[in-house]
C-alpha cells in the first residue's frame, strides 16, 4: 500500500493484523505490509478498499466461473432462502434443491457416475471420499486395501486427510502429516520440469511406471485407490503428458484399484468440458468437486460415485455414519442448480465456448517470447507461465529472488490478479471472459513481466 492509503483502509489493516489469522498466509509479513482489503466485485473485476479495480485472472480461487455479482444467482439464493432457509439431508430427508442437484450432477458427469453425496468444501469432499473408499473395501470384505496412492505435486485440500493426500511437502511438517497409509509418487507429471531429454510419451511411461512400482511395492491387493487431479492446479497448473490418464486408468483396472479424480478445480467447465476426466477421456469411480459448481457464490461440494462403489454403498442396508450439518444446504444447492443452468444456457462449456478458449490459449502463448518465460502451458480456461532464469537451460531462479512473489505484486499493482505458485504464474479466469478482456489480461500480464524482469 502507498503512503496515500485511506484512513478506512489503515483501520482495517490494523484490526486485521491484531485479530485475523488467514489461510496460507505468512502472518509476520502480513503485519509488516498490511492486508489488501477486497470490498467489491462485478463481472470479472474485483475492487479493493482504495477503489482500485483488478481483472481477476484467477476467478477468486479457481471458482468464480460466472464472475461476480450475477443477479440470477443472487435471485436464486434469495428465493431459496425465503422458501427454505435451512434443512438437512440426514435420516432419510432431502430438499428439492439437493435432490435435483444430485440428479444434475449424475447427468453431467461422465459414464456411469450415479450417486452423489454433498459436503461444503473441496476438502470436506476429499475427506468424505477417503472415508467412502475405506467403507467400500471394508464392506467388500477386503479390509487390507488401506493404502492411498497420490502424486507428488498434487493439492487436495487442507483438512487433516486432504492435506495428507496433498503431495506438497510444505504442507506436512507443521502439522505432523501425512497420515499413515498415504503415499506420494514422483515425478510430478510435468514434462517441461521433469522430463528433460525424454519424449513426451517416454515421460508418460516414466510417470505411470512409478505408480505401478508403488502398487507392486505395497502389494496391489493392499491398495485402495489411486487419486489425482486431471490437471494439477494449485501445485502449479501442470497438464499431464500425452496418454497419461488412459495409462493410469488401465493400471487401476489391471489391479482392481479404484480410480478417484479430484475435480475440485477441473470440474464444471474449467477445461472446456464439464469435467477434466471427460477432457482426458477416462472413467473415474470417484469424483470430488466443489468450486465452480456454485461459481463460489455459496460453499458446496460433492463426492460422486460410479460403478460398483456406487452400487455397493447405495444398496447397503445399514446406516452410513457420516455427514455434515450444512451439506447440500438448500440455498447453496439452489445457487449451484442455477449456476449450471446458466452455464448450459449461455454456452460457457463445450463447443460453444471453444472459440473463446482457443483465443485465450493463443493469446497467453504470445507471452512465450518474453525473456522471463520458459514455457506457457494450458487448456480450457487454465494457463501457466513458467518463469526461468535461463530460457535455454531452463535454469530456475534462486529462491531468494522470490520471482513469483515479485511478479504477483507487479500484477496486483497494475490491475491484474495472477497467482504465483513457485516460479509459475497461473491463470484461471472466469468462464465469461470476453476476447477484449483476454486482450486486457495478456497486455497487463506482459507489463507485469516487464517490470519483474
Write out the residues near ligand PLP by the rule CB under 6 A. 61, 121-123, 126, 155-158, 229, 233-234, 262, 264-265, 290
Least Cβ distance, residue 263 to ligand PLP (angstroms): 7
Least Cβ distance, residue 177 to ligand PLP (angstroms): 15
User: Length of the chain in residues, anyone?
Assistant: 453
DSSP annotation of 37 reads: P
Cβ proximity of 131 and 321 under 8 Å: no
What is the C-alpha to C-alpha distance for residues 162 and 251, in angstroms, rounded to an integer? 24
Least Cβ distance, residue 264 to ligand PLP (angstroms): 3
Least Cβ distance, residue 248 to ligand PLP (angstroms): 16
What is the C-alpha to C-alpha distance for residues 152 and 178, in angstroms, rounded to an integer? 12
Least Cβ distance, residue 345 to ligand PLP (angstroms): 26
Cβ proximity of 296 and 265 under 8 Å: no
Question: What is the distance of C-alpha 359 from the center of its chain?
Answer: 22
- In the bound state with ligand PLP, the residue whose beta carbon lies nearer, of 184 and 356, is 184
Least Cβ distance, residue 62 to ligand PLP (angstroms): 6
- In the bound state with ligand PLP, the residue whose beta carbon lies nearer, of 266 and 448, is 266
Q: How many CA atoms lie within 13 A of 159 on its CB side?
A: 13
- In the bound state with ligand PLP, the residue whose beta carbon lies nearer, of 104 and 156, is 156
What is the C-alpha to C-alpha distance for residues 105 and 116, in angstroms, rounded to an integer? 7
Which residue has its beta carbon closest to ligand PLP? 122
- In the bound state with ligand PLP, the residue whose beta carbon lies nearer, of 234 and 449, is 234
- In the bound state with ligand PLP, the residue whose beta carbon lies nearer, of 171 and 208, is 171
Cell 447427468 identifies what position? 107
What is the C-alpha to C-alpha distance for residues 440 and 384, in angstroms, rounded to an integer? 17
Strand partners, 427: 383
H-helix or E-strand spanning residue 375: strand 373-379
- In the bound state with ligand PLP, the residue whose beta carbon lies nearer, of 122 and 404, is 122
Amino acid at each position: 500500500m502507498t503512503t496515500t492509503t485511506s484512513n478506512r483502509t489503515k483501520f482495517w489493516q490494523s484490526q486485521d493484523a491484531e485479530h485475523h489469522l488467514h489461510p496460507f498466509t505468512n502472518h509476520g509479513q502480513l503485519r509488516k505490509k498490511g492486508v489488501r482489503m477486497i470490498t467489491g466485485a462485478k463481472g470479472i473485476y474485483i475492487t479493493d478498499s482504495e477503489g482500485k479495480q483488478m481483472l481477476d485472472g484467477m476467478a477468486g480461487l479457481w471458482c468464480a466461473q460466472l464472475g461476480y455479482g450475477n443477479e440470477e444467482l443472487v435471485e436464486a439464493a434469495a428465493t431459496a432462502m425465503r422458501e427454505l432457509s435451512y434443512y438437512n439431508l440426514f435420516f432419510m430427508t432431502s430438499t428439492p434443491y439437493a435432490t435435483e442437484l444430485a440428479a444434475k450432477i449424475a447427468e453431467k458427469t461422465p459414464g456411469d457416475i450415479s450417486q452423489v453425496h454433498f459436503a461444503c468444501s473441496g476438502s470436506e469432499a476429499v475427506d468424505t471420499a477417503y472415508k467412502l473408499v475405506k467403507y467400500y473395501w471394508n464392506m467388500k470384505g477386503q479390509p487390507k486395501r488401506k493404502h492411498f496412492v497420490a502424486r507428488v505435486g498434487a493439492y487436495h485440500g487442507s483438512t487433516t486427510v486432504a492435506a495428507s493426500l496433498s503431495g506438497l511437502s510444505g504442507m506436512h511438517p507443521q502439522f505432523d502429516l501425512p497420515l499413515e497409509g498415504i503415499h506420494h509418487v514422483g515425478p510430478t507429471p510435468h514434462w517441461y520440469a521433469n522430463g528433460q531429454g525424454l519424449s513426451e510419451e517416454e515421460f508418460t511411461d516414466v510417470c505411470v511406471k512409478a505408480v505401478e512400482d508403488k502398487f507392486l511395492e505395497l502389494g496391489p491387493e493392499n491398495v485402495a485407490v489411486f487419486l489425482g487431479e486431471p490437471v494439477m492446479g494449485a501445485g502449479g497448473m501442470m497438464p499431464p503428458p500425452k496418454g497419461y490418464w488412459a495409462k493410469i486408468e488401465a493400471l487401476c483396472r489391471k489391479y482392481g484399484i479404484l480410480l478417484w479424480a479430484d475435480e475440485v478445480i477441473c470440474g464444471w467447465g474449467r477445461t472446456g468440458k464439464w469435467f477434466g476426466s471427460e477432457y482426458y477421456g477416462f472413467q473415474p469411480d470417484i469424483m470430488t468437486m466443489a468450486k465452480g459448481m456454485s461459481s463460489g457464490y455459496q460453499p458446496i461440494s460433492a463426492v460422486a460415485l460410479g460403478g460398483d462403489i456406487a452400487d455397493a454403498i447405495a444398496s447397503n442396508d445399514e446406516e452410513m455414519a457420516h455427514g455434515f450439518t450444512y451439506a447440500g444446504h438448500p440455498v447453496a444447492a439452489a445457487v449451484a442448480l442455477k449456476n449450471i443452468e446458466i452455464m448450459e444456457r449461455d454456452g460457457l462449456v463445450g463447443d460453444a465456448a471453444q472459440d473463446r478458449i482457443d483465443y485465450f490459449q493463443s493469446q497467453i502463448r504470445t507471452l512465450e517470447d518474453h525473456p522471463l518465460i520458459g514455457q506457457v502451458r494450458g487448456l480450457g480456461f487454465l494457463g501457466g507461465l513458467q518463469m526461468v532464469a535461463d530460457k535455454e537451460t531452463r535454469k530456475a531462479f534462486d529462491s531468494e529472488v522470490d520471482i513469483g512473489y515479485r511478479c504477483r505484486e507487479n500484477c496486483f499493482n497494475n490491475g491484474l490478479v495472477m497467482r504465483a505458485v513457485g516460479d509459475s504464474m497461473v491463470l484461471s479466469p472466469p468462464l465469461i471472459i470476453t476476447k477484449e478482456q483476454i486482450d486486457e489480461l495478456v497486455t497487463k500480464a506482459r507489463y507485469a513481466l516487464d517490470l519483474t524482469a
